[in-house]
Amino acid sequence: MRDAIARSRWSRWGGILAALALASAVRVGAQEPPEMPEPPEPPSDPAEALKGLNIRAGETHDGDIYRFAPSVNIEGTQDGDLYAWAPSVRISGVVTGDVFAAGSQLDITGQVHKSVRAAGANVIIDGIVDGNVLVTGGSLVLGSKAHVKGNVSAFAGQLTHHGVVDGSLSFTGGTAILGGKVLEDAELIADAIQVEPGARIEGDISYSTRKRMDDELRAIAGGEVSFDETPSRKKAEKEERESSLRPSTFGVGKWIAFYVASLLFGCAMLALFRDHEPKVTETIRTDALRSAGVGFVSILVTIAVILSSILLITIPFVVVYLLAYLVAVYLAKIPVAVWLGRTALGAVHRPGGPYLALAVGLAILYLIFMLPFLIGVLAQGAAALLGLGAMTTTYLAHRQMRKAAVAAAAAGTATAPPSAAVS
């Protein structure tokens, strides 16, 4: 029973945390921070929070919704805000409040009376949004029936616009396809911009692309057209650096300094937690995939915590949490280095203690980190995820064992005969 209640509470607070993360993303326009919503009542069934949500046509749900679910489908009326973390979110009805969504697919063909903030692989809006739209993800499509009465900000791989935006349009990403109307200014930072028949921007256009297209944009602009080559030039320079054969932009000397610093911190860490080191390295060796998954989840939770700083009361907690997490990320490569060093020493039949394994493992890691073509960057990320996950998994297992030991000791005391207790 206690486990069921605990799962229910975690589902509830997890929904609130994800919603706060989306709500406090990059703000569009000058808006007042929303008031903190009251947490919903826990469901009577512990599994209810994980079921799909479906409001059928003709039905009305009163109050805000916070939901982790396989799918969310609003065909009727949601009278309040919608906080949804689901692979598929479809709104063909009406949401009278704000929409905060995270998932693989978001489709809005109905009406949202306030703003939409979404993080997803694909976001399609072919309905009416009375407020602003903020999207981060793979793609944003504004269909021919889309009407956004506020501003649109998109940070995505592709933007396709065939609707109407009453406010301004801001896009940063890969390709921008313009075929709709924007009644105010547009700011476009993209690899490429495609202009289709019917496109019109009534205000000024500020853009940056690999290829200048002043004439094409002047034909659809009601105001001035300006080209900023800084973003595209910086991107080209970055690609040129990455394609070079130099070990690293930092230089070999700085990598050596990083190695020495990591070695010193690692030795101190081993001295403090030497009893736990075998468990952590064994977790990496036997369950690396699960450890990396736990590390990735920790990043999502950290992003949510940071973005929740929209609430002033949470700012001190966010600062402390962020500092602790950055230290953990920096130290995460230590157990990975020890495991890698033990593996390398074992391969050459050279046994050694944890300090020697640390020195050898860090040397191998930093040689990998120096590789070009993004290999080094990916290796750093993988090491951080693996180390974070292994440390977290080991800590949780250790904590569970301590609780079990305390519970067993308490049970033994409770069942002991009175004579034994007196003696």
Cα dihedral 88, 27, 115, 317 in deg (nearest 10): 70
Q: What is the pLDDT of residue 393?
A: 82
Q: What is the pLDDT of residue 307?
A: 65
pLDDT at 22: 39
pLDDT for 58 equals 93
> Does residue 244 contact residue 227 with C-beta atoms inside 8 Å?
no
Rg for the chain (alpha carbons), in Å?
Answer: 27
pLDDT, residue 114, reads 95
Per-residue pLDDT of the chain (423 residues), as tens digits, is: 444 444 444 444 444 444 433 344 333 333 333 333 343 443 433 334 446 889 999 999 999 998 877 889 999 999 999 998 888 899 999 999 999 988 789 999 999 999 999 987 789 999 999 999 999 888 999 999 999 999 999 998 999 999 999 999 999 989 999 999 999 999 999 989 999 999 999 999 999 998 889 999 999 999 999 998 776 556 555 555 544 444 444 456 666 777 788 888 888 887 887 777 788 888 888 888 887 888 788 777 777 766 665 555 666 777 777 788 788 887 888 888 888 888 888 888 777 788 888 888 888 888 887 777 677 788 888 888 888 888 888 878 878 888 887 777 777 776 655 554 444
Beta carbons of 392 and 280 less than 8 angstroms apart:
no
**pLDDT score of 231:** 62
What is the 3-state secondary structure of 137-185?
A: EEEEEECCCCEECCCEEEEEEEEEECCEECCCEEEEEEEEEECCEECCC
